[in-house]
Structure 1
Amino acid sequence: MKPILYLRLKKKVQAQPGQLLRIKDICRLAGGAVCEEIKEIPVYAASLNHGNYTVIDSLDILGLISEQAPSLDVRNVGPTQTIIEVHPPAKEPRIILVLLVWMILFVGSGLAIMNFHVDVSMQEVHQRIYYLVTGRHVHQPLILQIPYSIGIGTGMILFFNHLFKRRFNEEPSPMELEMFLYQETIDQYVINDEKQKVERDSHGTSV
């Protein structure tokens, strides 16, 4: 009876340019002692020559394993592709650029909130509420405006579930969910695009 090797390709692997990725870097293996002779097989040398993304198919992995150990019964129990994301070494952020972006976002968000309040006549609403409660006309009902302003900031902190680097609970924030869905869409696009390239190349070769 052939020894059985189970492998599961990782969904995504990040690498540096020039890094040699082996099977142990791309797959999770299960099969006892047979894993030791398989996990060091080289698979891909990370490079930026073809862009930041490369897709490794499970058939490529199975072919490499069959060359090294043809007597193994290899079974793939996970995804059929792995995305290799190649990143150059990260650069230190420039303080001036960070401050400039922070100022643009701060001023832009502040203007957006103020324009929204003007559109819905928020000041007139506060004046009307103050008059209904107290019976007096006041141009700036600070007793309503100050708690309201504090509530906006507090609500945004609770909504995004972050205060600087601190999280209030393990529940993902709406921004994290949107980023997750965005990344999932990118990954699926990369996989589909790679499939189309392979199909075009195979058709061109056959012709």
Structure 2
Amino acid sequence: MEEKIYLRLKKKITVDPNHLLRLSDIAFVTGNVKDLSNLNQLKIYQITEKDKNVSVIDGFLLLDRLMQVYPNYSFDLVGFNQTIVEIKKQVKKVNILIITAIWLLLCVGSAMAIMNFHYDVSMQEVQKSIAYLLTGEKVEKPLWIQIPYSFGLGLGMVLFFNHIFKKRFNEEPSPLEVEMFNYQQDLDNYLIYHENVITKRDDE
């Protein structure tokens, strides 16, 4: 019976600087070989300072390495064709002043955006008209409409983002999470194209 090995590359991993990548670090391995421990410990790639913050291990590079060491095995690569290797950076201390400044900037910017939108669509005049239609009286400040509208606006934003601090209402992703996921996918595709080990080696 042919000895066959199946490999499924991990999409993304995080390692320490100068880490020696082994097969078990970047792939899930199975097959009809009795002992996979030696295969899992096979050295694949040495992370160096040239790799900077990220490197990409290509499936072709992996198969080439495996066939050199185990010429009698048959290898089948399934799933992802590359593994993105993120190299840990030195963690910096959180600067409370910077966080506070960003928080204030976002809050003021959001408030300005909402107020400018209401000004553009003449929201106050609309609310006056609604109050007149419902009561038959002209009121300059229909607070019985404006106050619940303000609370409803805040509640709507909370429901839209599906979060209160770390509390999540349900498993459905918010539009912001979907956009962040799409951005991460595009970023990963960029890294796969530009940071591939094979591409770097060919350029050199």
Please give the TM-score of this superposition, normalised by the length of structure 1.
Answer: 0.89
Q: How does 1:37-186 map to 2 (within 5 A)?
A: 37-186=38-187
* Contact 2:8 2:79 survives alignment (8 Å): yes
Residues 102-127 of structure 1, C-alpha deviations (whole Å, 9 max, x = no match)? 01100110011011101111011111
Structure 1 residues 48 and 136: CA distance shift in structure 2, 3 A? farther
Give the number of aligned pairs. 203
Q: What residue identity is the alignment partner of 2:110?
A: S
- d(CA) in 2 for partners of 1:46, 1:93: 28
Contact 1:16 1:89 (C-alpha < 8 Å) held by counterparts? no
CA contact (8 A) 2:54 2:195 kept: no
Any stretches of 5+ residues in structure 1 without a counterpart?
none
- Map of 1:24 onto structure 2: 24
- 1:48 Cα deviation from its structure 2 partner: 4.6
Deviations 1:37-94 (A, max 9, x none): 1111222233453332211111221222233322221111122211112230322321
TM value normalised by structure 2: 0.90
Are 1:48 and 1:86, in contact at CA under 8 Å, matched by a contact in 2?
A: no
Structure 1 contact 5–34 (Cα < 8 Å) conserved: no
Identity of aligned residues (%): 45
Give the SS at the match of 1:181.
helix
Structure of greater relative contact order (alpha carbons < 8 Å, 6+ residues apart)? 2
Unaligned runs of 5+ in 2: none
Do the aligned residues in 2 keep the contact of 1:4 with 1:74 (CA within 8 Å)?
yes
Rounded Cα–Cα distance in structure 2 between residues aligned with 1:99 and 1:68: 55
Structure 1 Cα separation of the partners of residues 50 and 60 of structure 2: 23
Question: 2:71 and 2:197 mapped to 1: Cα distance?
Answer: 30
